[in-house]
Structure 1
Amino acid sequence: MNGLFVGLTTLDIIYLADHFPHSNEKIVALDQSIAAGGPATNAAITFQHFGHQATVLSMIGNHPISQLICAELEDCALSVFDLSPSHENPPPTSSIIVDKLTGKRAVISINAIKSQAKADKLSLEILQDVDIILIDGHQMVVSQLIAQQAHLKNIPIMIDGGSWKPGFEKILPYVNYAICSANFYPPNCYNSDDVFNYLKQIGVPNIAITNGENPIKCWTQEEFNCIDISPIKAVDTLGAGDVFHGAFCHFIFKHNFMDSLSKASEVAKVACQSFGTRKWMNELKVNT
């Protein structure tokens, strides 16, 4: 199967520490990892790990940091369509600290704020033979065009709703699967009930809200459900949501919405039990 993953690509510099630094404090990391990241990119790498072909549609550019990103994506055997290959400014870089005790992380990044691509040079041939599309909302202009054309071709679309971003309202009418975090609040939404109602009114047929180790709330086929998450000792929660979304794109080909969510959560739990965003792949046997 072929997946198209539209959105953010970053360089992630990840440190493992025994605590988060206080103001004006210098600490020595216990470990470090440097990897290509971003919601769409990590999801694509996960999807590829399950034996599919993933294409990342993102803005990487032509900067020394860009070369580091491209080298790893090539190692992962991903196809990459760069929305602005001659862009000379550095791509977004994320600095991340993971607390060894809790596995929780703190992230600082400018995301795609300064690297928004135009859609005028995008060839829609990129949709040829695509079986599923993930949109993370970080390249909204391009994503709107992709969503409209994919809808005409009956290609299922999933959004990674990590947080609300202006422009999502133009994509949601075409969406088949909305998987949102507890921090996803459309306009005038203040709790999960508001979010469900907002997405249902737009016509999204399958909706889920994840909240870390708490149950996944979901709505499909006119019915609400919850999926319990069994407890684990988390080592690193960085990228767990991205892994979840990439795994969901794999499972949804053979399973229903609820089962795909449940199976994707099991993959995300494996990812949370090792440091960094790649080591989990050595621990997980790929199956359906």
Structure 2
Amino acid sequence: MTIKKSFKGLFVGLITLDLIYLAESPPQNNQKLVADDYTVASGGPVTNAAVSFSHLGNNAKILGVVGCHPMTQLIKSDLANYKIEIVDLNYTTENPPPVSSIIVSKTGKRAVISINAVKTQANIQAISSDILQDIDIVLIDGHQMEVGCAIAQLAQAKNIPVVIDGGSWKPGFDKLLPFVNYAICSANFYPPNCQTSAEVFAYLNQIGIPHIAITHGENPIQYLSQNEIKLLNVPKIQAADTLGAGDIFHGAFCNHVLQETFTTALEQSAKVAALSCQFFGTRRWMEEVKS
């Protein structure tokens, strides 16, 4: 019997508190709705990715801003359930954490209103000198851009692979990308002067990123292999909730790419993300299906 190796990942970026409601549809103006179900969890791209990475049998560490506001106890207790370490870049701040309010409709689509990390940017002086000790892989979502750039440079110097979650283009990505090994982007990721997927691939390839993929939800993943854009089909499912699927994909990718080829890692990650979409919220897929 082969025993899976446990890896250690560092996840750099946004940490939020997510209030997630299941309802027939989002409310209209002046309309009040009673939700059919709800759940509360920590959220943010790298946070959900870290939970996914941990669930697959690894050790995850999140680098971001949480602070000491009473609401942060909900974030800390949730992540403690998954044995995830938080490295707080501003643990003394009493400001409330970013909160996302999310309505998931019966069709599986979601409506989100949130505050991102714009008001909780950390300084690179807050990074400890041993932050990358024993780390096997780094995932950066761009929400803590200055910190992310610094970590990516340190990781490259130590030959630690760097993955970006390219959900959307953010100022500063141009400084981060030269230190990236794997660019896993959404269909909404458009660098300056790029309007098509082909232009995005060309932009990232010119920078020298060796592995690039663009996800398209339930449609095939595009990825660059040997200077050719190829397609990878994803599982066909009846989605109950697509919230966090991309984040979960990234966490699974960080697990699989350390063990398998780039293409296989994309394929296996798509299976994990598809599984997560069959359950309400960002956690219940793990409760129903143990690692």
TM-score, scaled to structure 2:
0.96
Which whole-Å deviations, capped at 9, do the CAs of 1:176-204 have from their partners, x for residues lacking one? 10000000011111111110010001011
- Contact preservation (8 Å) 1:14, 1:98: yes
RMSD: 0.9
Supply the distance in 2 between the matched residues of 1:69 and 1:132 (Cα, whole angstroms): 23
**Correspondence 1:7-18 to 2 at 5 A:** 7-18=13-24
Secondary structure at 2:258 match in 1: coil
Q: Does 1:213 align with 2:218?
A: yes
Aligned to 1:180: 185
Q: Does 1:72 align with 2:78?
A: yes
Aligned to 2:65: 59
- Contact preservation (8 Å) 1:270, 1:284: no
Supply the distance in 2 between the matched residues of 1:121 and 1:9 (Cα, whole angstroms): 16
Which whole-Å deviations, capped at 9, do the CAs of 1:196-215 have from their partners, x for residues lacking one? 01000101110000011011
Secondary structure at 1:196 match in 2: helix
Supply the distance in 2 between the matched residues of 1:195 and 1:124 (Cα, whole angstroms): 34
Amino acid at match of 2:81: D
Supply the distance in 1 between the matched residues of 2:274 and 2:287 (Cα, whole angstroms): 14
Aligned to 2:46: 40
Same amino acid, percent of matched pairs: 58
Supply the distance in 1 between the matched residues of 2:229 and 2:188 (Cα, whole angstroms): 20
Which whole-Å deviations, capped at 9, do the CAs of 1:110-142 have from their partners, x for residues lacking one? 110110011112113010110000000000010
**Correspondence 1:103-122 to 2 at 5 A:** 103-122=108-127
* Displacement after TM superposition at 1:165 (Å): 0.4
Amino acid at match of 1:84: N
Q: Does 1:163 align with 2:168?
A: yes
Secondary structure at 1:229 match in 2: coil
Which whole-Å deviations, capped at 9, do the CAs of 1:126-183 have from their partners, x for residues lacking one? 1011000000000001001001111000000000000000111111111110000000
Supply the distance in 2 between the matched residues of 1:47 and 1:281 (Cα, whole angstroms): 11
Secondary structure at 2:205 match in 1: helix
Report how many aligned residue pairs link the two structures.
285
Supply the distance in 1 between the matched residues of 2:165 and 2:101 (Cα, whole angstroms): 21
Structure 2: unaligned runs, 5 residues or longer: 1-6
TM-score, scaled to structure 1:
0.97
- Contact preservation (8 Å) 2:178, 2:209: yes
Runs ≥4 in structure 1, deviation > 6 angstroms?
none
Supply the distance in 1 between the matched residues of 2:290 and 2:211 (Cα, whole angstroms): 28
* Displacement after TM superposition at 1:230 (Å): 3.0
